[in-house]
Amino acid sequence: MKRLRKLWPFAREKAPTPGVQDLTALWQRTHGHLKPLEEHLPMPPDSLSTCSFCKQPGAIALSVQVGTDGRETLTDAVVHYCPACQRYFFDPAVQANREVASQPISKINARCWFAMPTFLNIEPTTCCNFRCWYCIGRTMPQVNMKLDDYRRIFDHFPALQTIALVGEGEPLLHPDFFLMADIARDRGVRVMLTSNGSRFSDDVIRNLCESAVTYLSVSIDSVDPATFADSRPPGNLDEIWRGVERLRSYRDRHGYRYPVIGLKGTLFAHTVDQLPAIIEEGWRRGMEVYEGFQPLNPMVTYLPCYPEDKKALLASVGDVAAKIAGYSRAAEGKLESISQFCARERIEFDKSGRPNGLRPGCDEQWIYALASGDITPCCMIKEPVSPRWNLFQHPLPEILADPLYESTRFNLFNGIFPPGCAGCYKVGCR
């Protein structure tokens, strides 16, 4: 209300809606750093309401847990925040259990996002022997992770069970990749990676099997060699297919269980109709898991890296995504889905997480870090956010408890997205 009076001197305090509880003091005492972003992407209209106190529009619904004086708990409660008067209020009329909600609220838990990760995705290198025009890695510093920094990860991430050595470069180009894989194996941590498939020499294939790399996916963007080379120069599709075949053959002949071989890629308007053929060819060559395909990334953080003559392809991203969803059914019966594989191997890797029940949100159950060790909110963010989020320098529990980190996860979980998330499929049509 103080802010209202500053903006409108004649504004008067209005009588609150009967039964509504003002939780502002309780929230500030327990969650003072968890606050909706002042600058964010537009919110879905059905998730906004009129403030029960100042009567201004735009109050934001938040997913929380609350406890009552009677020691009862609502795990799917809704608290509203009003940007105009900066109040947090609780309206029993919008709760699923109105009888419990009518009691005085004495506790709030707004930390509802997933906070027990066991999966780390970190890039061992940003160097690559391909020049894919749509890859943001071309604009990033070309570096290899140092082994001493890599070893610190395991001390700073005590709950780590699976590490994906994946980033904007080709992991197998790191000169110590297999030493890194062995270090993880000796710690009881499984290794996954994504490769462009160009490095499958006999020695690499043997080392992949002997190091017990659990999963390896290969990116295939076309079944036509010329089209493939155009998007992934100087890629030789026939050579990559032969490498996949040799890997599968060597693994099976020598009785190794791993690596399981997956298929993924990026498709455009002129290649998306090839997806059924890509799936068929991948299965025929020995691939076993369908990891998934994506259209050109339309996020604002990626746009600067695209050549001007390719930006017209952004107009068809929606149609390409819809076709991918339809064609992906062709993988059923031939390739195992990545979610089925992770469930079978007990790998906790979920890009969706728990829904907030209010609007599309982001609750990824894994940690993403750059080659520098800097953790970012997702794999689409390529700039460090805070020096306190560096996994080489700080233990993960300390990072997870950092107020800025918690605030970031709070907003993403509740679907309150910063402007940098514009274009992400999780944001939806906003």
pLDDT, one tens digit per residue, over 329-382 is: 889 889 999 999 999 999 988 777 889 999 999 998 999 999 999 999 988 899
* Each residue's pLDDT tens digit, 175-197: 999 999 999 999 999 999 999 99
Percent of the chain at pLDDT exceeding 70: 96
Give, as one character, the DSSP assignment of residue 92: G
* Each residue's pLDDT tens digit, 44-79: 888 899 999 999 999 999 999 999 988 889 999 999
* Each residue's pLDDT tens digit, 79-123: 999 999 999 999 999 998 888 888 999 999 999 999 899 999 999
Strands (E), 69-209: 73-82, 87-90, 105-109, 119-122, 162-165, 190-195
Confidence category of residue 11, pLDDT binned at 50, 70, 90: very low
Q: So what's the pLDDT on residue 161?
A: 97
CATH class entry, domain 119-345: alpha beta
Give every CB contact of residue 300 below 8 A, 6+ residues apart in sequence. 419, 420, 422, 423
Is the CB of residue 358 less than 8 Å from the CB of residue 60? Answer: no
Instruction: Tell me the DSSP string of 176-244.
Output: THHHHHHHHHHTT-EEEEEE-S----HHHHHHHHHTT--EEEEE---SSHHHHHHHSTT--HHHHHHHH
Give, as one character, the DSSP assignment of residue 311: G
Instruction: Specify the pTM.
Output: 0.91
Give every CB contact of residue 381 below 8 A, 6+ residues apart in sequence. 301, 420
Tokens coding 316: 């068809």
Break the chain into its structural domains and give their ranges: 2-109, 119-345
